Amino acid sequence: MKNRAAPRSGIAMSSDRPASIPGVPRTPSGGDVIASAVLTESGTELGTVVEVVIETGDRADVVGFEIEAVEGLRPGDDHHVFIPLPDTLAISGDNIIVPDSARDFVRDDLTGFGGAVADFRSQLGEEA
Amino acid sequence: MRWKQAKGRTVVNTSTAENLGTLSGFAVNPDTSQLVALVIGDQVITWADAGGIGKDAVTIADEEMVRPPESSLEKAAAGGSGDPVGKRVITEDGHDIGCVADIDFDAQTGAIRELVLGDDEVLGSRLLGIGSFAVMVSSAQRSMGGGQLDALSKAELYEMAKTRDVDGRSSMTKSELIDALA
């Protein structure tokens, strides 16, 4: 398994098939989420999933995806970014749907990504 | 957003993340110059349910929002005869002013801004009806009742400039024709 832990964050990544990690989302058809399109609720494509970001601890919690971002999502030439996920989300063999506000919490690397996930989920909790 | 640009977008159910189909057209209410429904196959989605057209996809929250067409406008759209693109544009006083190449509309509200006629255009508010063979728009005289010359197509402005014998009209742009006729 390829694991890259970010210092002090408790965040790790896996490019293995998600079936090998408890809690990592799988599509209803049993396929994994790698290469799935990430779409906002209002219909804007953000990119395609490259890797799954999990929070390590007593149990694995999927907290985000590394995505190959569509052009224009972030400034600069590096189009690989990290996007936080809500507690629950809709996944099919076609798409992964995220709230529109997820794009406000996109990060260029894993440094501070745990905080971005917490802020994003906290904001969603306040909206609910 | 342009009509041709929007057609072909995927319609996605955000509850299940599944693709439901492809946007194949729109139902237009000519009385309000508004897109009132989206066509997906032989079914429709009320514009308000979709909340507009997303940048990359149309999203709806519930698959039950996809329903059979009910009104005559929706039935014409789902049957294909309500598509204005490719039809002649005839004014109510009988002038053929071109062919609809595309339609420019507000992606959020569905308001039709302009009927695009090749390199010319007329305001969407002039729309009176969409028939099987042609799109009917208000006459040039009625359209500029409020003094709005920009409601007219360039071809109509040129005809007006010809009537008034405006010098240099043949080389003028649309905005120059408006300035000369104001």
Binned at pLDDT 50, 70 and 90, residue B141 comes out as confident
Longest dimension (CA), chain A: 37
Q: Give the C-alpha separation, A125 to A101, whole Å.
A: 12
The string of DSSP codes covering chain A is --B-PPTTT-EEEE-S-GGGSTT----TTS--STTPEEEETTS-EEEEEEEEEEE-SSS-EEEEEEEEEPTTSSSSS--EEEEE--SS-EE-SSEEEE-GGGGGG-BSSSTTHHHHHHHHHHHHHHH-
Q: Which of B15, B51, B57 lies nearest to residue A39, judging by beta carbons?
A: B57
Q: pLDDT for A17-38, tens place per residue?
A: 444 444 555 555 555 788 899 9
Which residues of chain B have a Cβ shorter than 8 Å from any chain A Cβ?
9, 12, 14-19, 51, 53-59
Angle between helices B154-163 and B174-181 (to 10 degrees): 40
User: Which of B1, B56, B60 to mutate against chain A (most A CBs within 10 Å)?
Assistant: B56
- Comparing alpha-carbon positions, the chain A residue that sits nearest to B11 is A43
Q: Is B174 helix (H, G, I), strand (E, B) or coil?
A: helix
Q: Give the C-alpha separation, B148 to B165, whole Å.
A: 20
Which residues of chain A have a Cβ shorter than 8 Å from any chain B Cβ?
39-45, 89-97
| Contact call for B17 and A96, based on CB within 8 A | yes
Residues of B in contact with A43 (CB under 8 A): 9, 12, 53-59
Q: pLDDT for B34-59, tens place per residue?
A: 999 999 999 999 999 998 899 999 99
pLDDT of A1 higher than 70: no
Residue type, A56: T
| Contact call for A45 and B56, based on CB within 8 A | yes
Residue of A58, A48, A73, A54 whose CA lies nearest to A16: A54
Q: pLDDT for A101-119, tens place per residue?
A: 998 888 888 888 888 888 8
Q: Are strands A37-40 and A95-98 parallel, antiparallel or unpaired?
A: parallel
- Contacts by residues B100-103 (CB-CB < 8 Å, ≥ 24 positions apart): B100/B135, B102/B2, B102/B3, B102/B4, B103/B2, B103/B3
**Residues B2 and B103 sit within 8 Å (Cβ to Cβ):** yes
Residues of B in contact with A45 (CB under 8 A): 55-57
Question: Which one of A65-69, A77-81, B99-103 scores highest in mean pLDDT?
Answer: B99-103
Exposure string (b/e) for B137-148, b if CB count within 10 Å is 16 or more?
bbbbeebbeeee
pLDDT of B128 higher than 70: yes
CB proximity list for B87: less than 8 A, separation 6 or greater: B99, B100, B130, B131, B133, B134, B135
Longest dimension (CA), chain B: 63
pTM: 0.79
pLDDT of B63 higher than 70: yes
Four-point Cα dihedral A11, A17, A21, A26, nearest 10? 100
| Contact call for B15 and A90, based on CB within 8 A | yes
CB proximity list for B140: less than 8 A, separation 6 or greater: B91, B95, B152, B156, B159, B160
